[in-house]
Structure 1
């Protein structure tokens, strides 16, 4: 899979504050890359630099092997940027919004282009309604549909699901995954760990101006520490007895009162703990193995930073 976007050593400062410090990243063609970070971490700044909307102090950005500062016009024809705020015209209908963008791009068959995108984003029934009557999720889907007029190869999404309810968010996730299936390369910024986990082929953690970790969702979760054995007991006495028996294990108490044991030796640790509890006749209501989550990784990386 070829590299679609390559960022090398990007630095950027605002007044005396260095926002980005030697950022490097690579996005493969036909994949979804999620740039994850807390508010104020520099995600939007980096996105503007990659798309040529903001000058960098130093570094290089390549899209389709072309350097962005030397080939801005040619490169901008290959991508579309969808910002945090929707750019739809609420006075117009959904169809009219798409038709207008198609005309501005001098495309033939503007009606056909508009209807195709309305169908792709499940907006056909709302075709002739004013956008002011659309829900937030519908407006966001229409906004992304407008970004796809002209069939750009790359789509940049800046925190696409901010402010959406769970159903609208899930609908938009499905639409983004469908775009990937259609061969689009997608670069998105998000502060939502679940979003990165659900969508991304590759995740980059931006912290203190650096990409402090990168990898697939599964690889990133491993940075959050060991899997843990969760033990739930029927009574307080059983919990107290178990804590005394399991003193030699790396153990903590969960917010729900369960006991959590780090599986430093994997299955071997689980067997040892369960055998000890059985030998001492300590009853267990249930148990399960909890794999590390992106939340664990995020907290671990912040702690290390």
Structure 2
């Protein structure tokens, strides 16, 4: 595919029909992806969906068997060298040398990438990631969170246009994770495009402007976190005082939500799913009271990305089985 100038100026990452086979295993089966410049795209999917293979392809570590892509405006295959000068990569494992100090690592990366003023650039990044006090200690003495921060700093030595983060906060405590999140927000505020794979759905919800749900080597769904949650709808549940009013409660829920009510007879509970964003808990309680339904409890829970992930991947699995 030949991308027009308007497309490549709008999107930092553009791929169409990317395929990768490892023998009989089809890791990618036609990956289509478009990531707008200066945004965070969260790539989610179950284990084995093709996320890491996609990252390795888009960072030129693998060549696609079919399809095309442009990164920061450059062709992934024909202009791979130009792509590599414009990207940064932080993988699942640290790329820095544990025997060197944080400062020595960053200076080494700066010299390898021929960055002007390597000492100054190293100092800037150490300060940015709160590592100045530990800058001259061997990285082998760093905590897990500090190691991830120095690794991320190393990937930013060249001020990349596009940063690929492959599960950057795996195994980190909440405080260290928040530091990485703040760094990602600062990067996008400065205009960097971030492609993020993560196993933490809360992380994608916090950081991503858009999400690509990958399953079986393809992008199955895309949209903002809010748009994807809208596909699922909020969950409504009421617990009634007497089992003989459960059917009456189900009638109210059917009218309010348009969804098929479900029953939990052990708890005297009736539930339904609604995509009506105007439905509120006070309105729900008023309607049930007007219908003469005595309540013990009522809840209206917005969907989470966990709900989206589980529901959509389940639906995809059923479609695949049916096919």
Match of 1:219 among 224, 227, 232: 227
Aligned equivalents of 1:111 and 1:247: distance in 2? 68
Q: CA RMSD in A?
A: 2.5
Match of 1:228 among 229, 235, 257: 235
Aligned equivalents of 2:196 and 2:266: distance in 1? 33
Alpha-carbon offset, residue 269 of structure 1: 9.0
Aligned pair 1:243/2:251, yes or no? no
Alpha-carbon offset, residue 281 of structure 1: 6.1
Q: Aligned to 1:85, what secondary structure does the other structure show?
A: coil
Aligned equivalents of 1:180 and 1:244: distance in 2? 51
Aligned to 2:99: 91
Aligned to 2:68: 60
Q: Aligned to 1:122, what secondary structure does the other structure show?
A: coil
Aligned equivalents of 2:43 and 2:288: distance in 1? 44
Aligned equivalents of 1:33 and 1:151: distance in 2? 19
- Which structure 2 segments of 5+ residues have no match? 1-8, 254-260, 317-323
CA contact (8 A) 1:98 1:146 kept: yes
What TM-score do you get using the length of structure 2 for normalisation?
A: 0.85
Alpha-carbon offset, residue 74 of structure 1: 1.4
Q: Aligned to 1:125, what secondary structure does the other structure show?
A: coil
- Which structure 1 segments of 5+ residues have no match? none
Aligned equivalents of 2:160 and 2:279: distance in 1? 51
Aligned to 1:191: 199
Q: Given the superposition, is the C-alpha separation of residues 258 and 70 from structure 1 closer, same or farther in structure 2, using an over 3 Å criterion?
A: same
CA contact (8 A) 2:210 2:224 kept: yes
Aligned to 2:319: none
CA contact (8 A) 2:246 2:269 kept: no
Match of 1:205 among 199, 213, 226: 213
Q: Aligned to 1:124, what secondary structure does the other structure show?
A: coil
Aligned to 1:22: 30
What TM-score do you get using the length of structure 1 for normalisation?
A: 0.89
Match of 1:299 among 296, 310, 313: 310
User: 133-142 vs 14-23, which deviates more?
Assistant: 14-23
Deviations 1:243-273 (A, max 9, x none): 3431334135599996533236565696466
CA contact (8 A) 1:82 1:144 kept: yes
